[in-house]
């Protein structure tokens, strides 16, 4: 049995009772970064053994994990924050479990783009979650496609690339396109900045040092 277990995106209290119980009861927890996960486990006094499972090693350890599951072990897969498989490793393991007839389930829980979409005040009846843009190949063509969408779209971005991303959004979507920038959701220094793409760019350029993980919500092309 494989459990996909969402973990808090910031505040450690944002976790379900079921997620805690599952992590206590499984034989092994596969973690994107075992050091990050151990902080969560220590907070809830969970002593379950952990093993690394991340984008750099998932192909290498996939067969081993499947063999563990086939011999009867119960395993939980977690990412550093949020739901496994959403802009984090998990897809390959889930697909292989389906192919091998291994039972699995995904617990409901935190993911950053949902609160960002809701707090943005933009239409949410129809939206596109893009996640991280390609760093190089295909980036400009993808931005061109996103700029033409009539529905809201959502991006993830890191602090060292947020300024570049906002500059590109201005170029492709226009300075006056409505947008929302969410930083450090659910954490102590959470910020939500709404306005135009130009407003968000101005905010970004005024920062002495940009920290935290970002979610960008952009209005559709109306």
Task: Name the residue among 26, 82, 80, 27 with its Cα closest to residue 53.
Answer: 80
Residues 63, 83, 36, 191, CA torsion sign: positive
H/E segment holding residue 180: strand 178-183
Superfamily of domain 2-106: Tetrapyrrole methylase, N-terminal domain (3.40.1010.10)
Q: Quote the CA–CA distance of 167 and 198 in Å, as a whole number.
A: 9
What residue ranges do the domains of the chain occupy? 2-106, 113-218
Sequence-separated (6 or more) residues with CB below 8 Å from residue 34: 50, 51, 52
CATH class belonging to 113-218: alpha beta
pLDDT of residue 195: 97
The per-residue pLDDT for range 164-184, each reduced to its tens digit, is: 999 999 999 999 999 999 999
Residues 168, 173, 174, 179, CA torsion sign: negative
Q: Quote the CA–CA distance of 42 and 2 in Å, as a whole number.
A: 22
The per-residue pLDDT for range 98-137, each reduced to its tens digit, is: 999 999 999 999 999 999 999 999 999 999 999 999 988 9
Structure pTM? 0.91
């Amino acid at each position: 049995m494989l459990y996909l277990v969402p973990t808090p995106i910031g505040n450690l209290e944002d976790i379900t009772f079921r997620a805690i119980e599952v992590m206590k009861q499984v034989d092994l927890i596969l973690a994107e970064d075992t050091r990050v996960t151990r902080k969560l486990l220590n907070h809830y006094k969970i002593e379950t053994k952990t093993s690394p499972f991340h984008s750099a090693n998932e192909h290498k350890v996939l067969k081993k994990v499947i063999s563990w599951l086939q011999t009867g072990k119960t395993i939980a897969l977690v990412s550093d924050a949020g739901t496994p498989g959403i802009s984090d490793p998990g897809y390959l393991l889930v697909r292989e479990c389906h192919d091998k007839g291994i039972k699995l389930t995904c617990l409901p829980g935190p993911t950053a783009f949902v609160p960002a979409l809701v707090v943005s005040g933009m239409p949410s009846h129809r939206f596109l979650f893009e996640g991280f843009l390609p760093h190089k190949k295909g980036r400009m063509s993808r931005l061109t496609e996103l700029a033409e969408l009539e529905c809201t779209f959502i991006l993830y971005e890191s602090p060292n690339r947020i300024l570049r991303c906002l500059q590109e959004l201005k170029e492709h979507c226009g300075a006056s396109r409505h947008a929302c920038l969410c930083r450090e959701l659910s954490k102590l220094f959470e910020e939500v900045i709404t306005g135009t793409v130009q407003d968000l760019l101005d905010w970004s350029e005024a920062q002495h040092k940009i920290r935290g993980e970002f979610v960008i919500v952009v209005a559709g092309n109306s």
